[in-house]
Amino acid sequence: MILVDSSVWIEFLCGRMQHLQTGDFHQFATCGPILQEVLQGLRVGAASAKFEERIRSLPCLSDPLPVGLFLEAAEIYREGRRKGHTIRSTADCLIAAIAIENAIPLWHKDRDFEAIAKYTPLRISPRILPRVQ
């Protein structure tokens, strides 16, 4: 299972990830912050409604979010600053904390996660997923 960040979903929705098919969704998980980021940007329409149905059917990690994950996200942010990395999005720190807590790799297209992975146990998923038969 792979936690898919909103940066990947945005690429998919914009048609820039032709290799990704809806049949691949069984490999994916999501979490509250990712759902919020993706769904708040959806346009009204049948295709968006179908996508929302599919993404909401994914396993949702750390639901509900325990306060400890917020504390871990704050520590990820502070540790990054101590090491010279200013993370642009506190939501990314929370998403990273969720991935770490659940021992699941994160698939992303966001430089903040590359920085976070340098000083935490965050595992990054490969950019292109192999087809599962």
Mean pLDDT calculated for residue range 34-40: 96
Stretch 45-56: mean pLDDT: 90
Rounded to the nearest 5 percent, the helix, strand and coil shares of the chain are 55, 10, 40
Averaged pLDDT for residues 65-81 = 97
Instruction: Please tell me the distance from the alpha carbon of residue 3 to that of residue 27, in angstroms, as a whole number.
Output: 9
Give the global pTM. 0.90
Q: What is the pLDDT of residues 85-121, one digit of tens each?
A: 999 999 999 999 999 999 999 999 999 999 999 999 9
Of 123, 133, 131, the closest CA to residue 103 belongs to 123
Distance CA 84, CA 28 (A): 32
**Start-end of H helices in the chain:** 6-13, 32-39, 46-56, 67-82, 90-101, 111-119
How high is the pLDDT of residue 44?
Answer: 86
Q: Which domains does the chain have, with CATH numbers?
A: 2-119 (3.40.50.1010)
